[in-house]
Structure 1
Amino acid sequence: MKSRPNNRRPGDPQGSDIESTEPLRLNLKSFDDMLPHVGDFGFYQWLLLVSLIPYCFTYSVLYFGQIFITLVPETHWCHVDGLGNLTIEERRNENIPQLNKDPPYDTCQRWNDSNAKDNSSLVSCTTWEYNLTTVPYMSLAAELDWVCERSYLVSTARSIFFCGSIVGGILFGWLADHKGRIPALVICNGVGLLATVATAYANSFWSFALIRFFAGLSFDNCINIPLIIVLEYVAVNKRSLVVNGAFGFYFALSSTILPWIAYFVADWRILCYVFAIPLLSAIVTPWILPESARWYLASGMADKVVTKLKRIALFNKKTPDPAIYDAFMTNQEKGDCEEQTATVLDLFKTRRLAKHTILVTVFWALIALAFDGHVYSLESLSESVFLSFTLTSATEFPAGILLILILDRWGRRACSFVPTILTAVCSFLMIFITTGTASLVLAVTARFFLNMAANIALQFAAEVLPTPARAQGVALVHIFGIIAHSMAPYVVEMAHIWDKLPMITLTVVSLVAAILVLHLPETMGEDLPQTLQEGEDFGREQKFWSVPCTGKKSRPI
């Protein structure tokens, strides 16, 4: 029998030989291999979860803030000079055509001659009056009269914001790869901070659109970068909990209180300054978030990863064998961690992998379109947009909690299909139920289901796409999602053609998304594909009708 080599180091107590590092060297090839030794869900990870709060608030104000900056009261009518001595009702009855619909008067035309009230006397409005009962302030859009034939300017400004996000994704993605995630995040949120403050000085469509384009550069990156960093430092089996629990709670909280901040501030210029407060996180980011361990490794700075690992162990009160750090460094120096490289084009070179890439991309884009379509449709509800927005945003939290409970039991496909098809049902019913409490209940229910579908959609992409091209593939999914975001305002604008057209469109979009997700492989409990060939073969043995919790099997996917 061979004697065990003596690996005791100088200063180690007699009889406390450290286990040979050779078995360790074979197993400690990646940061994920090292993390359990220093604590993968301890005090340090909880601090990281808390650090996500300002970034989730930033994401919320960038995503939804423009709605309240450009919110136009539904009740508005032509302004006529020289009638200031009359009441609102008298002015409307005197100069505005009455209609048999809601609102019961024309919002875009007036009588040129109040004594000759016929079609020949109708003229288009040049300026408007607004009822500030439900929306207690004049927004930028109201001040500049972006209504009637100019209402498309609100939607165009929103689309330009999302176009900025596409440019920002490319720009800050490159910066993150070459200079580090933390510098990229600091500059990203710094640009968003300056643009949000500058929004308060916009005085025309073009100045507003240009400023919001720069604000859009920060959108998505403001949360994607910190969230990915935090996920790197958390146990693999806790990542669904982080995304659907902590992030869902913070985002739910911020988006729920956002409309009431707008309501009580009641001044869109001051509101811009308030919205800029979370973006001040750019100043403190280097002190509350660590640099990406994977970026350190990719940049040849394994020594900094070891320093970070020792710090994590200190916070988590772990005392790992010092030999693990040496074994990890040895693996890095010998190049044992070399991985296959690929480009996004490699995802389309084989049939099944190409199919899965296209499916996850289109599924996410359709979910993003349906999500934003329902968000913007809240402005047309007869109830208070502030209350409607609050109730729908509050569904983020229960949706996240429910996913935590069922996602690893029912699987990704079922948990995507069911809420998406139910969204289609709600959208279909909203074609016919357009007012009253029932319409609000349907809007809240649809948002609840969409929250679930959206939370799973990008997780699906990260789990289906193979490691060599995963980051690039997820970026591709993100870009098409942003394109969908930019299209959503125009879906709502379809109401000017036919008031039922937006919900018909959202019904079809949700239905198609539900059908598509059934053709993706189930990823629950499966090892992530590490090579392009594994990505091609992923799910090949699965059955189309199988559900993980029942084990039912049928024909192959």
Structure 2
Amino acid sequence: MPPRDCERYDDFLLLIGDFGPFQKRLLFWMMPAAFLFAFTYFGQIFMILLPKNHWCKVSELQGLPENEQKNRGIPKKSDGSYENCFMYNIPYNSNKTNDANETRSKVPCNNGWIYDRKEVPYESIATEYDWVCDKEDFGTYSVVVYFVGCIVGCLCFGYITDHSGRLVALFLANACSMIGGCVSAVCKDFPCFAASRFVTGLAMNYCFVPIYILTLENVGMKYRTLVGNLALTFSFTLGACLLPWLAYAFSNWRHYAMVVAVPVVLMILTSLLAPESPSWLLSVGKVDWGIEVLRDAAKANGKTISEETWSEMKECFELKFANEQLGKQYTSLDLFKTFRRCVVLIILIVTWMTVAMAYDAHVRVVQILDTDVFITFSLSSLVEIPAGIVPMFLLDRIGRKPMMSAVMLLCATCSLFVGLLKGEWYVSAAAIAARFFITMGYNVGQQWASEILPTVLRGQGLAVINIMGQMGALISPVVLSTHRFYRALPMFIITLVSVVGASIILVLPETKGATMPQTLDEAEKRWTLRCKDRKINADI
């Protein structure tokens, strides 16, 4: 006969220990995963860098000083800068000024380009294959293809994570990251490079998310905020800050691509050595395996548990799984079956799209600023540390809604300054500040969404939100490319998007001090769609 006191095993961490050597080992494995996550996400930026200052190569003028080559052979634009895509049909053969060439006709570049190596001191794929002028959008297209891969990866690996296990998803995602990265390094044309970036994009989230979920599922509640933010705040930031200097040090995009891709083998090995999540094993009916992992965890944490307790625990989880199979099986479509649910999900989706677009735009904006791209990217990446620490202290004091709305509005303000200011370092400072605020929004939004959604559909609901959020990230390189029409236009678009995001979240429920909803009915009672919240727990 099944034991009656099964509720005591719902939180098995009380028995095996909630933050002992077992959990610290999981945290140890999560740190390199976060570090390499930065490589997978940001690595492409430094493969496709293109100096803003480039001009036609004029064979007859080779050997002359750079300024004289441009002065004799390259026409000027109306603003006084030199053309990037045109040259004179016949170069002027004296040392007179460019004005004397006005009688010559302009023709498109026909002998390649010369690139300012002071801006980008190494060969990127964009400079090696001249992705300029009529090919100038190739870099943007490659990023878009990368995010298309990310969307497909979220669909595939999200399903695998819940149905085949956290470690299977971790293995497959990191295999995609390594294979795609290595193939990128040998590509000689755009179709090959785009295809390789699609494969790498498949891993964009799930090269890290499975080990993140696995760790949080097996850490005590009071340690989750610390553990969840520790890896992203420090390891991810370190990886992001290191990337530009790896590109600078290796001085060739192919060598750099290999250096970014090969270390991912560490996470492939981790997926073979780490224990599967006992929470997942028990939830899908693999009780024997789950109990075996819990035994190892208890032993590692120095906990002694009787055989009678293990036997009773096994019976309880077998009974619980059997009862769950008799109950209703929910799908993500259930989140859209009433008006209130539909509105809340749409708001969460649109909010996450605005956050993802603004975040990715402020990551990549360094490519169009006038300051040194390597220094600016490293400085802007460093703000991930305070952006991860500040929410730890403020989130439970002032609440999710006011903090999320405030950081989105501050991001909008700083983005507006990026578009309006003139001094190059003033612009860069405003861009770095904007990234600081949108990174906080990213961190707060991820936690807030998980607290709003009910337990029965939390995983599937977050998958829907993240997949749609990647649509926003996919659009961000296109938004940045509009700077060719008007320098400040990308930041004006991001300003508008951030204001929209800050406004629509005001009707979402505040979750500060509230328990997470378990059922759809419980969640729907909280989704009041009002700016001023009730005391949630008092009404349930």
Q: TM-score range by the shorter chain?
A: over 0.9
Q: How does 1:134-283 map to 2 (within 5 A)?
A: 134-283=119-268
2:480 counterpart SS class: helix
State the distance in 2 between where 1:453 and 1:172 align.
25
The letter of the residue matching 1:514 is A
State the distance in 1 between where 2:156 and 2:442 align.
25
Partner of 1:489: 477
Partner of 1:56: 34
Partner of 1:5: none
Partner of 1:544: 531
Does residue 361 (structure 1) correspond to residue 349 (structure 2)? The answer is yes
State the distance in 2 between where 1:353 and 1:248 align.
33
The letter of the residue matching 1:417 is S
State the distance in 1 between where 2:384 and 2:364 align.
17
Partner of 1:17: none
The letter of the residue matching 1:54 is P
State the distance in 2 between where 1:332 and 1:441 align.
54
Cα shift at 1:326: 2.8
State the distance in 2 between where 1:289 and 1:415 align.
36
State the distance in 2 between where 1:434 and 1:232 align.
48
State the distance in 2 between where 1:437 and 1:500 align.
15
Q: How does 1:19-98 map to 2 (within 5 A)?
A: 24-28=5-9, 30=10, 33-98=11-76
Q: How does 1:465-544 map to 2 (within 5 A)?
A: 465-540=453-528, 544=531
Count of residues in correspondence between the two structures: 525
Structure 1 stretch 402-411 or stretch 174-183: which is displaced more?
Answer: 174-183
Equivalent residues of 1:40, 1:235 under 8 A apart:
yes
Structure 1 stretch 120-129 or stretch 74-83: which is displaced more?
Answer: 120-129
The letter of the residue matching 2:26 is L
Structure 1 stretch 206-215 or stretch 277-286: which is displaced more?
Answer: 277-286
Does residue 318 (structure 1) correspond to residue 296 (structure 2)? The answer is no
Partner of 2:438: 450
Partner of 2:96: none
Q: 1:45 to 1:526 in 2, by over 3 A?
A: same
The letter of the residue matching 1:58 is L
Cα shift at 1:295: 2.7
The letter of the residue matching 1:544 is C
Does residue 437 (structure 1) correspond to residue 415 (structure 2)? The answer is no
Equivalent residues of 1:410, 1:547 under 8 A apart:
no
* Deviation readout 1:413-433 (Å, 9 max, x if unpaired): 122111110000001111111
Cα shift at 1:281: 2.1
* Deviation readout 1:167-201 (Å, 9 max, x if unpaired): 22222233333432212211221122111111111
Structure 1 stretch 238-247 or stretch 486-495: which is displaced more?
Answer: 238-247
Q: 1:543 to 1:512 in 2, by over 3 A?
A: closer
State the distance in 2 between where 1:287 and 1:417 align.
42
Partner of 2:291: 306
Equivalent residues of 2:90, 2:104 under 8 A apart:
no
* Deviation readout 1:490-521 (Å, 9 max, x if unpaired): 00111122212101101001111111222211
Equivalent residues of 2:16, 2:301 under 8 A apart:
yes
Equivalent residues of 1:411, 1:547 under 8 A apart:
no
Q: How does 1:390-405 map to 2 (within 5 A)?
A: 390-405=378-393
State the distance in 2 between where 1:333 and 1:143 align.
60
State the distance in 2 between where 1:178 and 1:149 align.
46
Partner of 1:3: none
Partner of 2:365: 377
The letter of the residue matching 2:176 is V
Equivalent residues of 1:360, 1:460 under 8 A apart:
no
2:208 counterpart SS class: helix
* Deviation readout 1:426-470 (Å, 9 max, x if unpaired): 011111114422111111111111110011222222111112222
State the distance in 1 between where 2:108 and 2:176 align.
40
State the distance in 2 between where 1:428 and 1:119 align.
42
Equivalent residues of 1:78, 1:110 under 8 A apart:
yes
State the distance in 1 between where 2:370 and 2:471 align.
29
Partner of 1:112: 89
Partner of 1:122: 106
* Deviation readout 1:45-102 (Å, 9 max, x if unpaired): 222112112211221111111100111112111111122121111101111223465x
1:221 counterpart SS class: coil
* Deviation readout 1:395-420 (Å, 9 max, x if unpaired): 11111111111112122112211111
1:233 counterpart SS class: coil
1:117 counterpart SS class: helix
State the distance in 1 between where 2:344 and 2:465 align.
12
State the distance in 1 between where 2:281 and 2:266 align.
23
Unaligned runs of 5+ in 2: 93-99
Equivalent residues of 2:33, 2:267 under 8 A apart:
no
Equivalent residues of 2:16, 2:298 under 8 A apart:
yes
2:87 counterpart SS class: strand
Give the TM-score normalised by the residue count of structure 1: 0.89
1:192 counterpart SS class: helix
State the distance in 2 between where 1:55 and 1:502 align.
32
The letter of the residue matching 2:154 is G
State the distance in 1 between where 2:501 and 2:105 align.
49
State the distance in 2 between where 1:227 and 1:68 align.
27
Equivalent residues of 2:138, 2:190 under 8 A apart:
yes
Cα shift at 1:283: 3.5
Counterpart of 1:352 (choices 340, 345, 349) is 340
Partner of 2:95: none
State the distance in 2 between where 1:482 and 1:136 align.
32
Q: 1:466 to 1:378 in 2, by over 3 A?
A: same
Cα shift at 1:155: 0.5
Equivalent residues of 2:87, 2:109 under 8 A apart:
yes
Unaligned runs of 5+ in 1: 1-20
Cα shift at 1:547: 11
The letter of the residue matching 2:333 is L
The letter of the residue matching 1:359 is I
